[in-house]
Structure 1
């Protein structure tokens, strides 16, 4: 109760100060001082201000977390719960001064909190501070921020305190209650960030509650600010049954599954499967939450459309209320250099339709895919078409790409091991190589090799990388976007350079791995395709589906695995950004 009261005191005081002259300078955890005698929990925190030492904008457009005050408040609430500094808890000897590092470490620690050891309301307040980001504009005005602070953080904490005491109490009454019932001993000492000496312009948080309008005063009048447009991931209750799941995510490869798991906000099966499945359903399910959506994640036992169709059919039986399946992973892209559809490695494609290019008839030396209305896969459902239509607007695409870049950075900073962290890093524009369609990946100048035939390649050449095979780079295609990315990397603007573009269009799907640039270009041009993959045709007619795949190669003979993990990360990032728009 004491921690709850202390947190509410701090939140409500910041709410009162926010937007005033005192908080025009950046506020941080270092401006909080807790006064106590070491035997009672310090319920009277003070804020200190030294404008000559403080600095920085209230809005940080270049940071992972755009609003440092919300981040600092979230970290402080986390520290109050832990009973010690974040750095001390992590075993650091020095304070974390970089806001991006602070945000990542706080999120890691937050995910480790056991729900049974922390109030849902308190946990929700921490997460709202850590995950706050504005979806409408980059720089919301101070009033919107202040309104959000009250409605989304202060008010729920206040209501919880009121429920505990069955009435609203003054701060003095809460102090007396805490002093009478709570003795935390030496734990109070660990909360003190600074000694009493050397504090300038100190403001008591207690003074805010002397006003008759205080939310903790029995006779107070609650302020009613307008609700800000704030996109916040909230803590939600565990779904009661399989009927409460509406989103399915399907991956064909473990590396795709791993990238998606990093972006799941909460797992429902940490203590074992709670929901079961239908009789004879062979799928193994991972359940959890992404944002406001309960999701079920499936890793296919095999690649290809047969495995995808079987998994989707079983999903529909076990989770009958599913409304959307997101087929998330990697694919081969149609590069289209010099056009508006110029794709590069790491970009992500969203399916407006799926074309089964290996389903048709063989006529002598020619294969003809079936493309009549009766043979083609159906069109997306109306709600999917509406969602994709919004994403295809300039504003919708800009928002989607912005959130994608945010989640991509999150994956790169929250991978579980150093090895996987390196895997998710962008390989760099210099390693994005597109060869002319007529230049095949094989041995040249070896008369005894099968590669001497114009239409043949030996097995050994297919196993070698372009570097090992010494592919001639004079056949590389020069591209505008790659040149731009190289310039950004040279300027040290890594985040901008790695940010993926998002393309919407028809995707070719089949059980054949596309490794021919000539076939790729011919089929893509004839059927207006932007990428090739192997599972979409199987899942498409079983459930309402969107294929979300990152470009890991150019579906040519030079394809390799260098970009697979990064492309899986960009696809997972788009998947989560897309779910934020799905209602």
Structure 2
């Protein structure tokens, strides 16, 4: 990553990436090919940005100042006001994976991309709804789908991966090669022997880490011979609370079909029809810890970098901008009334 000499104006930036914490923010900064000088601020500026370039795209990267759906929405609206030429938006986050046999053989460090399936927008905000008299949870929420043209580029990259494989590992190694301190901050792959996926009924024993957990209670999984990291496409659940229960994890998958859960998309997609990209940092169970989170942030950032390589640059003619669509209430994609019922999560 080098500093670019040319000066830029706010309208030069056509991509926006929002990061929930400094972990994802650092990973995205590491993924930049160039860092641009800061643009002079105005009295109305409330967000902090790192500006730069990935491939042929100028991108603004920002981080939420604190957790919470209300704050995420405010940051996004401010960003769209600050950069009025944004074509596509992205949320790069660390999430919890929900493996499901051979269909979704999800492992720590993998990447999950929220993808519309049927009538689903790809993001399931199960944290909003109401509990019915029978104890079932009814979810009713308006959801924005990402722009269809952006999804077409996602499909293009997916096809490329089927032919040629992905470059996520290569991109992460490039980050670590340029920024050696990222190794000290644990952005490196912890190794397959540290990927511990325990049986649903086996609870953590309370000690820090899983050094004393019973390894005979691990779920038997074949080692990955070729590509150790995979990209999965499907539904991502969005919660406003941290989940560390294998029982709840399985309920979410069985009744809602989600394969990953994160905690910021709901608050953002109210105003920001973005593509949600999650690196898998844990399994949402009682064994949850942060060991894999830095690497998961790096793999999610690397996926976005590779995705941008298949998106052509703006031609400045006929481009649709998220800012104008939000103001018109069109929000660049269809809004979906997403109603689902599943059993209470008090399991």
Please tell me the TM-score bracket, short chain as reference: 0.7 to 0.9
- The equivalent of 2:256 in structure 1 is 527
Q: Does 1:341 align with 2:107?
A: no
Of 214, 223, 236, which residue of structure 2 is paired with 1:472? Answer: 214
Cα shift at 1:423: 1.3
Equivalent residue, structure 2, for 1:261: 29
SS for the counterpart of 1:484 is coil
Q: CA distance change for structure 1 residues 415 and 369 in 2, over 3 Å: closer, same or farther?
A: farther
Written as runs of structure 1 = structure 2, the 5 A alignment for 1:480-491 is: 480=222, 483-484=223-224
C-alpha contact 1:549 1:571 (8 A) present in aligned 2: yes
Number of the residue aligned with 1:552: 281
Residue in structure 2 matched with residue 252 of structure 1 by the alignment: 20
State yes or no: 1:330 paired with 2:98: no
Gaps of 5+ in 1: 1-107, 116-236, 443-460, 486-495
Structure 1-normalised TM-score?
0.50
Contact 2:144–2:273 (8 Å) recurs in 1: no
| Alignment match, 1:439 | 202
- Checking the alignment, whether the CA contact within 8 Å between 1:323 and 1:543 is kept in structure 2 is no
Change (3 A) 1:364 1:266: same
How many Å apart are 1:396 and its aligned residue? 4.2
Question: SS at the partner of 1:526?
Answer: helix
- Shifted more, 256-265 versus 376-385: the winner is 376-385
Q: Are the counterparts in 2 of residues 415 and 421 from structure 1 also a CA contact under 8 Å?
A: no
Partner of 2:131: 362
More strand by share: 2
The reply to whether residue 389 of structure 1 matches residue 143 of structure 2 is no
Q: Are 2:53 and 1:311 equivalent residues in the alignment?
A: no
Q: Does the 8 Å CA contact 2:146/2:274 hold for their aligned counterparts?
A: yes
Check whether the contact 1:465–1:558 (CA below 8 A) recurs between aligned residues. Answer: yes
1:398 CA displacement: 4.7
Alpha-carbon distance in 2 for matches of 1:365, 1:334: 27
Whole-Å Cα distance in 2 between the matches of residues 501 and 305 of structure 1? 29
Structure having the larger proportion of residues in helix: 1
CA-to-aligned-CA distance 1:51-87 (integer Å, 9 cap, x gap): xxxxxxxxxxxxxxxxxxxxxxxxxxxxxxxxxxxxx
Cα root mean square deviation, aligned: 2.2
- Larger RCO: 1 or 2 (CA < 8 Å, sep 6+): 2
User: Cα–Cα, structure 1 residues 275 and 582, in superposed 2: closer, same or farther, change >3 Å?
Assistant: farther
For the pair 1:351 / 2:114, whether they are aligned, the reply is yes
- Larger CA Rg, structure 1 vs 2: 1
> Which residue of structure 1 aligns with residue 332 of structure 2?
none
Deviant stretches of 4+, over 3 Å: 395-399, 419-422
The number of aligned residues is: 306
Q: 2:233 is paired with a residue of what secondary structure?
A: strand
